[in-house]
Amino acid sequence: MSALKQAFGGQIGLGGFGEGNVVKLDGGQRMRLDDKVDFWPRTQAWCTVGIEPPVEGLGMSSMLAFLKQARANAGRPVAEPVARESARKVTCNYCGKPAQLHGGLDVYPDRKDLEDRQFWVCWDCDAWVGCHRDSDLPFGELANEELRHARRAAHAAFDPVWQQGRMERPEAYAWLASELGIPREACQIGLMGLASCRRVPDIVWEKFGHLA
Ligand SMILES: [Zn+2]
């Protein structure tokens, strides 16, 4: 996985802001939105640009609230992402309300590679799940920011095992599956729940120590 994907993967839900308004800076460490706010995905810190004194905050939600207010003040309110039609019924596993089907750019405006993919989204819960290619069949349950963060941490701990050649990739996943006590087919970090994800760093640590 590239450093850029590690920086942004699963972190940027900017529904309604549109690709053209997101500029990556510092090799992807910093994003400038609407030319108004700089956002650091790793720390979730944000800070306004060109306003004295600057406004600062922490977290996507407060940043997006600030940007929406700024756009509303400028007389061009943010368009809510438009949900797509689907006969399929998917429920948000956090709040129990119906999830909405969206194109990939509604969820990840900076990820042109996801343009053709679809996601089931609950904006209220800041939760979503991707669909199988050319389909609206979700990969599993929706994941909120807490779970997405846990999955990123699990990948960061586990991927060096095969990337550094400690094990071949299939062997590494088979080993992880047996440590977690789950079937090999279910051993995909992107499909794991919070409890499994949180065990992954400890499992890797116990066998290999710290892998940088
Ligand atoms: Zn929900």
Q: How far is the CA of 124 from the centre of ligand 1 (A)?
A: 5
Here the tokens at position 25 are 């800076």
- pLDDT at residue number 15: 52
Evaluated on CA atoms 73, 145, 33, 112, the torsion sign reads negative
Tell me, in angstroms, the distance from the centre of ligand 1 to residue 166's CA: 40
Where a domain ends, among 17, 39, 73?
Answer: 73
How many domains does the chain divide into? 3
Higher pLDDT, 188 or 212: 188
CA of 105 to the centre of ligand 1 (A): 20
Q: What is the pLDDT of residue 122?
A: 93
Domain that holds residue 201: 145-208
CA 130 – ligand 1 centroid, Å? 15
Report cis status (omega within 30 of 0) of the bond before 53: yes
- Which of 1-5, 45-49, 62-66, 164-168 is predicted with the least confidence, judged by mean pLDDT? 1-5
- Which amino acid, 164? Q
Full-model pTM: 0.65
| Distance in Å, CA 66 to ligand 1 centroid | 22
Instruction: Please list, in sequence order, all residues whose beta carbon lies within 8 angstroms of the beta carbon of residue 79, skipping any fewer than 6 positions away.
Output: 16
51 shares its domain with 96: no
3 confidence band (pLDDT: 50, 70, 90): very low
Q: Is the pLDDT of residue 19 over 50?
A: no
Chosen domain end from 127, 143, 159: 143
Cα-to-centroid distance, 126 and ligand 1 (Å)? 7
User: pLDDT value at position 69?
Assistant: 81
**Which residues are near ligand 1, the ion (C-beta closer than 5 Å)?**
92, 94-95, 122, 124-125
Mean pLDDT on 148-168: 94
Q: Which of 32, 50, 73 represents a domain boundary (last residue)?
A: 73
Identify whether residues 150 and 195 lie together within a single domain.
yes
